[in-house]
C-alpha cells in the first residue's frame, strides 16, 4: 500500500523565518518517516494568495493536497499539523479528509503541539532546555496567538502546569485570546522580575511577532511592558527554530503511526 506523510501548517509570507521554522519541521518529519512520500500544505488561503502573487510560488492548500495524494495513489496517509492548538485550522484538516473519506484506506492525524496533559509535560521539558540561560531573578513571557475557539483555555492550563513543574518565572499571554499582555504585569510584579525576556509562542516569528510583539507601536507587547517599568529583552525566534519543539511534533506523529 502506497504511504504518504502530509505536513500541514498555517503558512507564512516571511520567507527567511519560514526556512528556519516550517522548512526545518518538514525536513525533520520527512527524515523520521523515510518510508512515506512527503507532501506539504498550508491552511491559510490568504497567505497562499500573497506568496503566489508576490513571489510566483504555488503551494497546496489542504484541499489541493488531499486531491494530490489521491491522484498519486496514496492509500495510507499520516498527517501531522504544525499548529499549536487543535483549533479552527486543525478542524479544516479533519473536515477535508472527512469529505474525501473514500479516497484513502487509512488516515491518521497527529495532534497539535499542545494536546492533553502529556504534551504539557513535554513542553515543560522543552521550555526548561530552551530558556536554561534565564536567571531566577528574571522572567520569560511567551506570547501566543490566542483564539476565539474554546481551546484558548489551553494557554492558561499550560501556564499552571509550568507552576506545578517548578517553573515559577515563565508566563504565557496571547495576542487575540483572553490572556492579553496586561495580565502578565501583576505576575511580573509578584516575582519582582529584574528583566523580562519576551518571546513568541508561535511556530513562525512572522507578522504577529514583528508587529504585535516586538514593534515600537504603542500597543505592542514590548511597549506595554516598557511602560510598566520593565527592562525588556526580545527573543525573535519562532518555536519551529528549536529542536526541542520539533521533536514534540515528531513524537505526536509517531504516536499516531503505530
Active-site residues, by number, are: 145
User: What's the CA dihedral at 146, 25, 72, 53 to 10 degrees?
Assistant: 60
CA distance 115 to 87: 11
CA distance 45 to 49: 6
Identify which of 248, 258, 4 has the alpha carbon closest to the alpha carbon of residue 126.
248
| 223's grid cell | 511597549
What is the DSSP-derived secondary structure letter of residue 173?
E
List, in order, residues 6 or more apart from 145 with CB less than 8 Å away: 84, 174, 175, 176, 177, 201, 202, 208
H helices of 62-152, in order, are 62-71, 88-99, 116-130
Amino acid at each position: 500500500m502506497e504511504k504518504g506523510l502530509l505536513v500541514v501548517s498555517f503558512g507564512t509570507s516571511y520567507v527567511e523565518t519560514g526556512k528556519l521554522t516550517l522548512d526545518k519541521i518538514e525536513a525533520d518529519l520527512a527524515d523520521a518517516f523515510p518510508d512515506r512520500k512527503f507532501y506539504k500544505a498550508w491552511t491559510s488561503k490568504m497567505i497562499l494568495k500573497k506568496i503566489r502573487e508576490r513571489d510566483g510560488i504555488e503551494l497546496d492548500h489542504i484541499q489541493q493536497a488531499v486531491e494530490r495524494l489521491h491522484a498519486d495513489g496514496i492509500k495510507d496517509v499520516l498527517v501531522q499539523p504544525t499548529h499549536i492548538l487543535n483549533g479552527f485550522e486543525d478542524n479544516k484538516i479533519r473536515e477535508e479528509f472527512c469529505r474525501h473519506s473514500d479516497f484513502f484506506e487509512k488516515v491518521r492525524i497527529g495532534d497539535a503541539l499542545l494536546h492533553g496533559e502529556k504534551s504539557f509535560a513535554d513542553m515543560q521539558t522543552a521550555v526548561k532546555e530552551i530558556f536554561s540561560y534565564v536567571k531566577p531573578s528574571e522572567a520569560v513571557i511567551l506570547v501566543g496567538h490566542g483564539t476565539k475557539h474554546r481551546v484558548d483555555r489551553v494557554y492558561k492550563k499550560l501556564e499552571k502546569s509550568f507552576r506545578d513543574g517548578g517553573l515559577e518565572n515563565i508566563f504565557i499571554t496571547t495576542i487575540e485570546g483572553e490572556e492579553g499582555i496586561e495580565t502578565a504585569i501583576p505576575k511580573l510584579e509578584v516575582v519582582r522580575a529584574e528583566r523580562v525576556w519576551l518571546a513568541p509562542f508561535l511556530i513562525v516569528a512572522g507578522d504577529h511577532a514583528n508587529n504585535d510583539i516586538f514593534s515600537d507601536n504603542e500597543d505592542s507587547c514590548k511597549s506595554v511592558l516598557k511602560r510598566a517599568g520593565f527592562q525588556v529583552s526580545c527573543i525573535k525566534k519562532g518555536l519551529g527554530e528549536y529542536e526541542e519543539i520539533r521533536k514534540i511534533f515528531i513524537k505526536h506523529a509517531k504516536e499516531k503511526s503505530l
